[in-house]
């Protein structure tokens, strides 16, 4: 999908979801970057005022500052009006996998801090079942990595450490391949119960709406 289509989805989402005076969670990744750019453009031309962003990664913070978006921490703004972010896969009921960019833990924290979680994707991310196209990233503390890998294998996940990568929290990522995930909610619960797991890329029952870009326009989907 072209950058123009992704930008169209981001602009549609920002136009519909972001209002002056809001504190907004700013996602990470290529499509979410267009959200940041669109908010910055609206602040500069006056369509938006007094919008403050809470970034989901250090990379997003740098991009937001470049485009003139004032930033705050969760300590300063613990409740957000809306969070706009991308996804690696979007399945039935707007269940998601996220985290190929490595920011899944902060992304989930910011998403749950928001009253409304909005997903912006292109149609290539749409799947019949999660796990069809992308591995499931699981963020683990270094000490627990061998145990986490063994217990993920017991759940059916073939995990590979993401070499040379450390998250903004100083953790490592295990990319887990599952035969397409039959029950995302049950798997999310099981992975969360593993000691040493800091976060995982299953975002189930969280998205309120998705703006999906295609060659013919932007489709708005709800669970």
Which one of the listed residues 11, 17, 107, 139 is annotated catalytic? Answer: 107
> Strand 197-200 and strand 89-90: pairing?
unpaired
Residue 120, H or E segment:
strand 117-122
Q: What angle do CA 181, 183, 186 make, to 5 degrees?
A: 120
Give catalytic status of residue 107 as yes or no.
Answer: yes
Q: What is the DSSP letter of 194?
A: S
Rounded to whole angstroms, how far apart are CA atoms 28 and 86? 7
Beta-sheet strand order (sheet of 23-26): 52-55, 23-26, 82-85, 117-122, 209-214, 217-221
Copy the structure tokens of residue 192: 């969360």
CB hemisphere CA count around 4 (13 angstroms): 3
Rounded to whole angstroms, how far apart are CA atoms 110 and 93? 21
Catalytic residues: 107
């Amino acid at each position: 999908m072209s950058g123009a289509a992704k930008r169209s989805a981001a602009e549609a989402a920002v136009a519909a979801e972001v209002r002056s005076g809001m504190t907004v969670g700013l996602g990470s990744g290529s499509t979410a970057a267009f959200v940041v750019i669109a908010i910055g453009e609206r602040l500069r031309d006056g369509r938006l005022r007094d919008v403050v962003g809470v970034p989901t990664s250090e990379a997003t913070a740098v991009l937001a500052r470049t485009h003139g978006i004032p930033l705050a921490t969760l300590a300063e703004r613990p409740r957000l009006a809306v969070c706009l972010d991308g996804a690696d896969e979007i399945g039935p009921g707007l269940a998601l996998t996220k985290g190929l960019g490595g920011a899944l833990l902060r992304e989930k924290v910011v998403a749950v801090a928001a009253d409304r979680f909005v997903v912006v994707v292109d149609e290539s991310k749409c799947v019949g079942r999660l796990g069809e196209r992308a591995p499931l990233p699981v963020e683990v503390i270094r000490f627990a990595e061998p145990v986490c890998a063994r217990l993920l294998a017991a759940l059916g996940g073939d995990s590979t450490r993401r070499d040379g990568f450390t998250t903004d929290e100083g953790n490592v990522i295990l990319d887990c391949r599952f035969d397409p995930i039959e029950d995302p909610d049950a798997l999310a619960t099981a992975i969360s119960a593993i000691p040493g797991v800091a976060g995982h890329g299953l975002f189930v029952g969280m998205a309120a709406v998705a703006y999906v870009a295609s060659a013919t326009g932007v489709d708005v989907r709800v669970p």
